[in-house]
Structure 1
Amino acid sequence: MLTSKRKAFLMDALRRDGQLVAKTLCAELAVSEDTIRRDLREMARDGLLVRVHGGALPLSPALGDFAARSLIAPSDKVAIGRAAARLVQPGQVVFIDGGTTSAQVVRHLPADLKATIVTHSPSIAVELVAHPNIEVIMLGGRLFRHSVVGVGAATIEAIGKVRADLYLMGVSSVHPKAGLSTGDFEEACVKRALCHAAAETIVLASPEKLATASPYQIVELGEIGGIVALASTAAALTAPYKKMGITVYPA
């Protein structure tokens, strides 16, 4: 089989099964494991999938920059943001991530809410200017323009000084086995620090992020308490998380 046809077969199998297992593919295609590994390495380099031990997983479509992500399923983000905003209680200290879905969270917070929002996103802080009863604490650091958030040692040090009640986390990917992941190493480090500094972490997950992976793991699923997902999300996509004891909040 020609390399191009073999890679097309692999992409079809990935879309159908949600994962690729190298040993199974070797037998199915009658080629060596080295050949499959080379194919997967080249496909990962071309941005078609994410390699994991023993095979590959679908690559998240939510790895574009801030402007590109704002065009992906905007109505889904509104619904998820509205549902997540209802989880913020008066008097809480809440970490709110950067990103297009997080922007919808703050837009749906009640006008009279009294709470403290801590964020490393200047765009989230600006959204909160119109909320006179919300104290806004901005975390410093180097601006990561791709996601319009602060990253680096200064950001992580500042996070370590806060003990939040809740962290509303935006991610690129959520997967039952690969956990939570994103496309930048430093951003993953910041999200991990936010998760560890909060009493509870709830993930904002539109359908295109479920059952996908990105290059850099944030935390495993055992470290989160809930996921906000569309009520219309296929049961097969949310069932693995419910089985793990993770609350799935419908949006």
Structure 2
Amino acid sequence: MLGAQRKDHLRQILHRDGRVVAKDVARELGLSEDSIRRDLRELADAGELVRVYGGALPVPLADRPVEQRTTLASDSKQRVARRAVELIAPAATIVLDAGTTTLAMARMLPHGADLTVITPSPAIALAVAEHSEARIVMIGGELARFSMVASGPLAMEAVHHLAADAFFLGATGIDATHGLTTGDLDDAVTKRAIAARCAQTFALASEEKVGAVSRFPVLDLDAVAGVVVDPRDESAAVGALAERVRVLR
């Protein structure tokens, strides 16, 4: 079987089963696992799938440019945002990550001026300014056009001089086995750095993110204080998360 035919076969398995197990495909086609892993690596480099230990998974729906994510699972994000806002203590200093769920949070914040909001996202900062009297601190750096979030060396320098009570983290994948993941390497590094400067980190998990796995690891589940999920999400993936981490509905 030619390489192009193998890749088509792998695409079909991924579409049919929602995952590819390299050893099973190798056995089925009478090939070495190294050949299948090489095909999967090339497909991952082309952005067609996400490689994981032993095989591959689909690219998460949340791993899209920000303008394509604004209408994705919007009702679920609103419910997650509403629950997350309940976790904000009076007079707290919080970090709101970039993302559509944190944007919803920014529009629901308490109106008192005793809250401080730190964010790497210009959109989040503007929303906080419009909907609350909170003090706003922006993390500067190069603006990534894909995610519209500040990252890179300047952002990292700013992060190292900050401290906060809680970090509301947006990931593109939140999975019981693979933890928190995202599709951009610089974004993953920035998120880890922010989490290290915060007393608690809460992951925001709207329905399309639970059980999904993206390319770059951010944090293990044992590094977060809890995962905020949609109260209406009764999926098996949420159940699996609940066995590993505190789930907040």
Query: What TM-score does the superposition give when structure 1 sets the normalisation length?
Result: 0.89
Counterparts of 1:150 and 1:24, CA distance in 2: 42
CA offset at residue 120 of structure 1?
1.0
- Structure 1 consecutive aligned stretches of length 4 or more whose deviation exceeds 4 Å: none
Q: Go from structure 1 to structure 2 and tell me whether the alpha carbon gap of 1:58 and 1:176 turns closer, same or farther (over 3 Å shift).
A: farther
CA deviations on 1:106-136 (whole Å, 9 max, x unpaired) are 1111323631111111111111113554111
Counterparts of 1:67 and 1:221, CA distance in 2: 28
Within 5 Å, which residues of 2 pair with 1:36-47? 36-47=36-47
Q: Which residue of 2 aligns with 1:7?
A: 10
Matched to 2:79, the amino acid is A
Within 5 Å, which residues of 2 pair with 1:183-194? 183-194=183-194
Q: Which residue of 1 aligns with 2:85?
A: 85
Worse-matched range after superposition: 99-108 or 127-136: 127-136
Q: Go from structure 1 to structure 2 and tell me whether the alpha carbon gap of 1:24 and 1:107 turns closer, same or farther (over 3 Å shift).
A: same
Q: Is the 8 A contact 1:228 1:248 kept in 2?
A: yes
CA offset at residue 237 of structure 1?
0.6
Q: Which residue of 2 aligns with 1:35?
A: 35
CA offset at residue 226 of structure 1?
0.9
- SS of the aligned residue for 1:222 comes to helix
- SS of the aligned residue for 1:208 comes to coil
Q: Is the 8 A contact 1:58 1:211 kept in 2?
A: no
Within 5 Å, which residues of 2 pair with 1:207-218? 207-218=207-218
Within 5 Å, which residues of 2 pair with 1:40-119? 40-112=40-112, 114-119=114-119
Worse-matched range after superposition: 63-72 or 230-239: 230-239
- SS of the aligned residue for 2:167 comes to strand
Q: Go from structure 1 to structure 2 and tell me whether the alpha carbon gap of 1:20 and 1:7 turns closer, same or farther (over 3 Å shift).
A: closer
Q: Go from structure 1 to structure 2 and tell me whether the alpha carbon gap of 1:38 and 1:167 turns closer, same or farther (over 3 Å shift).
A: same
Matched to 2:115, the amino acid is A
CA deviations on 1:15-64 (whole Å, 9 max, x unpaired) are 1xxx4332233224433323322332343234332112321223211111
Q: Which residue of 2 aligns with 1:151?
A: 151
Matched to 2:154, the amino acid is A
Worse-matched range after superposition: 5-14 or 172-181: 5-14
CA offset at residue 203 of structure 1?
0.7
CA deviations on 1:131-166 (whole Å, 9 max, x unpaired) are 554111111111112211111112112111122110
Q: Is the 8 A contact 2:113 2:133 kept in 1?
A: yes
Unaligned runs of 5+ in 1: none
CA offset at residue 196 of structure 1?
0.9
Counterparts of 1:9 and 1:187, CA distance in 2: 31
- SS of the aligned residue for 1:207 comes to coil
Q: Is the 8 A contact 1:20 1:56 kept in 2?
A: yes
Counterparts of 1:212 and 1:14, CA distance in 2: 14
Q: Go from structure 1 to structure 2 and tell me whether the alpha carbon gap of 1:225 and 1:14 turns closer, same or farther (over 3 Å shift).
A: farther
Counterparts of 1:213 and 1:186, CA distance in 2: 17
Kindly tell me the number of residue pairs found equivalent between the two proteins: 246
Query: What TM-score does the superposition give when structure 2 sets the normalisation length?
Result: 0.90
Unaligned runs of 5+ in 2: none
Structural RMSD (CA): 2.0
